[in-house]
Amino acid sequence: MDIVFIKQLEVITTIGVYAWEKSLQQKLYFDLEMAYDNKPAALSDDINLALNYFSVASAVSQFVQKNQFELLETMAEKVAQLIMCQFGVKWIKLTLHKPGALPQAQSLGVCIERGHRG
């Protein structure tokens, strides 16, 4: 199985447990690795047979901006479900970064894998 990836997809949204976090927008970054059979698209040079990077990025950005979560874990789970259902992805590795959340660290976050790589 092939891997289609998007690195450092930046989304501005509201996320957090604390009241002060719920009143401001924060920058998050998504790293997405998705199992997808690229061979049909490669052989035909047809975008309709490919996993469209732009469509995936747009769907993630819109979903995250329209929904508010307290936990990164919940957001990661919901975004993984969205991608798998909407785009027919059988396996996903999603890393969600929240930069600046800890003063002594560049970033923090979660990394999840869902489905079967095949």
Query: What was the pLDDT predicted at 117?
Result: 86
57-95: pLDDT as tens digits: 999 999 999 999 999 999 999 999 999 999 999 999 999
- For residue 32, pLDDT over 80 is answered with yes
SS (H, E, C) 21-53: HHHCCEEEEEEEEEEECCHHHHHHCCHHHCCCH
The reply to whether 66 belongs to the active site is no
Q: Which residue shows structure tokens 């789970």?
A: 77
Judging by beta carbons within 10 Å of its beta carbon (0-12, 13-18, 19+), is residue 7 exposed, middle or buried? exposed
Distance CA 11, CA 85 (A): 21
pTM of the model: 0.93
The domains found in the chain, sorted by start residue, are 2-115 (3.30.1130.10)
Q: Which of 7, 39, 78, 98 is catalytic?
A: 98
Determine which helix (DSSP H) or strand (DSSP E) holds 4, and give its type and residue range.
strand 2-13
